[in-house]
Structure 1
Amino acid sequence: MSASILIVEDEFLVALEMQSILEENGYRVLGIAADLAGAMEYTSQSIDLALVDLNLRDGLTGPQIGERLANEYDAAVLFVTANPRMLGDGVAGTIGVLTKPTDEETLLAATRFALRFREDETAEAPAAVLRFR
């Protein structure tokens, strides 16, 4: 069974591109959420990985979404944002940040890393991923 991934991104074309790349490479995308309420609608399902932007349709809710998904729902969380400095030292329970824009190879490498890290915290991060811990 392939990993289940939630994309939390309010730029629809960016989200669709990420979904296409992930699905073409065997991952199961649960859906796309554009805000906090939308993301929480997916919590009844098992989320292996959430790719979360910071600034969403309802404002700077990405850090809150990431923290909740990681700590309350046991999802691996990787932030995907054009503004990584906004996260400072990171968000408790989350893995790291991937800077947008990104390409297919980098997105897939970051996804593989985040899923491995979820199982083994000694997993080595690719250069494109800034780890919080």
Structure 2
Amino acid sequence: MALDRNPCMPRARILIVEDEYLVAADLEAALEELGYSCAGIAPDLETALTLGSSKPDLALVDIHLRDGQTGPLIAERLAQEHGISVLFVTANPRMALDASPPGTIGVLSKPCREEVVAAAVAYALQFKSGAPLLSPPSGLTLMQGGA
């Protein structure tokens, strides 16, 4: 399924923060098939912050990574240090909702289908751009400050 976009517009860059290689590779392939560019895959806090310095348009962040439950800290630092908006993609959505770091738009529960990720990413990018929004797509739970 190709993403309809203006060929003159640059592709949105998405950072994947996920320590399970197969999950990250599947997300990367799905995003690229949709017309997005992957800004990298980070399995931990240090790598996420390094890749975040390239200022991707959005980050998909898991809660539990190889260095512990660092997802909320990563989301907060990506937002504060680089202005990057975050969608959590996690098997522990309650933890993301409880943490609710600034810059976080919402949370998707793993496992999630490709079309759910596609709709959530498109929604998050519209939210970030300030474009008018419809209701959030099915499967995306907005954070307190989200649209």
TM-score class, shorter-chain normalisation, is over 0.9
Which of 11, 20, 27 is the equivalent residue of 1:2?
11
Following TM superposition, by how much is the alpha carbon of 1:125 offset from its aligned partner in structure 2, in angstroms?
Answer: 1.3
SS at match of 2:79: helix
Which of 39, 43, 66 is the equivalent residue of 1:57?
66
What residue in structure 2 maps to residue 92 of structure 1? 102
Which of 70, 75, 81 is the equivalent residue of 2:79?
70
Task: Give the % identical residues.
Answer: 51
Amino acid at match of 1:92: P
What residue in structure 2 maps to residue 18 of structure 1? 27
- The number of equivalent residue pairs is 133
Please give the alpha-carbon distance, in whole angstroms, between the structure 2 residues aligned to 1:121 and 1:90: 23
Moved over 3 A (4+): none
SS at match of 2:73: helix
Please give the alpha-carbon distance, in whole angstroms, between the structure 2 residues aligned to 1:70 and 1:77: 8
SS at match of 2:141: strand
Please give the alpha-carbon distance, in whole angstroms, between the structure 2 residues aligned to 1:85 and 1:122: 28
Unaligned runs of 5+ in 2: 1-9
Following TM superposition, by how much is the alpha carbon of 1:92 offset from its aligned partner in structure 2, in angstroms?
Answer: 1.7
Amino acid at match of 2:24: A
SS at match of 1:31: strand
C-alpha RMSD of matched pairs (Å): 1.3
Please give the alpha-carbon distance, in whole angstroms, between the structure 1 residues aligned to 2:112 and 2:19: 16
1:129 aligns with 2:121: no
Unaligned runs of 5+ in 1: none
